[in-house]
Structure 1
Amino acid sequence: MSTQHTYRVIVRGTWEGLTDAARERLLAEVEEHGLAAMQFTEEGSLTYDRALKHFSFRYVVVSDAEDGEEMASAIAEDRAQTTLGRAGYGHGGLRSTATDMDTMKINYKGRR
């Protein structure tokens, strides 16, 4: 049985080939997907701005530690791809960065 680690993954991409209907839907919901919406969740939180150029998803992924950050990134990219596909949103290639929260070093500052 392998140890499970929790990863925070940011998946980034660019909008491409958006239909007029998709563009209208995204613009109608832009206020719900701004900076205040940035949080790491299993479902992923989508953020973008009115320019509709770039977007990002923030995911929490629990995966086997031996598979590492590469697997967590692949899982998150797959989730993003699925979400975007179901919504009918065109996009370019996805790229991601993952942080293993179980091995992350926390520096506590002493009291002054």
Structure 2
Amino acid sequence: MTTTRTFRITVRGAFDGLDAEQRAELLARASEHDVLHAAYTTEGHLSYDIAARPAFTFRFQDSGEAEEDILEATERAEAAAKAWLDERGYAFKNLRSQAEDLSQAPLGKRQRRAAARKDA
């Protein structure tokens, strides 16, 4: 029996050398990319606060069957983030990724209680 693992990949970086037009464009669309609306999605969700700092975060959700699939998922997420930035002509720097396999994540207090009830 194979189980599907869910991965959450966070790709962070900083906009680099934005011109006035690019900055204005990002500011105009800032409400769509507010961190308060951040979510992990298959297509990736971008959040930033360009008025405060040039940093951005993409959040991706992906899946795989084996633990090693997280590496390919991370590569796909980085490629998608780069493609989005490149398509719009936004230069960037300091791109880095962090991935989490939710099947390996520690259970929260409610989840532990629910699991204990299920086993009882």
TM-score category of the 2 structures, normalised to the smaller one: 0.7 to 0.9
TM-score by length of structure 2 reads 0.78
The aligned counterpart of 1:5 is 5
**CA-to-aligned-CA distance 1:4-45 (integer Å, 9 cap, x gap):** 421001100011022322111101111221122210001111
Matched positions, count: 110
Larger radius of gyration between Structure 1 and Structure 2: 2
4+ residue runs of structure 1 moved beyond 4 angstroms?
none
The aligned counterpart of 2:32 is 32
- How far apart, in 2, do the equivalents of 1:52 and 1:24 lie? 14
Unaligned runs of 5+ in 1: none
The aligned counterpart of 1:76 is 77
Unaligned runs of 5+ in 2: 114-120
TM-score by length of structure 1 reads 0.83
The aligned counterpart of 1:63 is 64
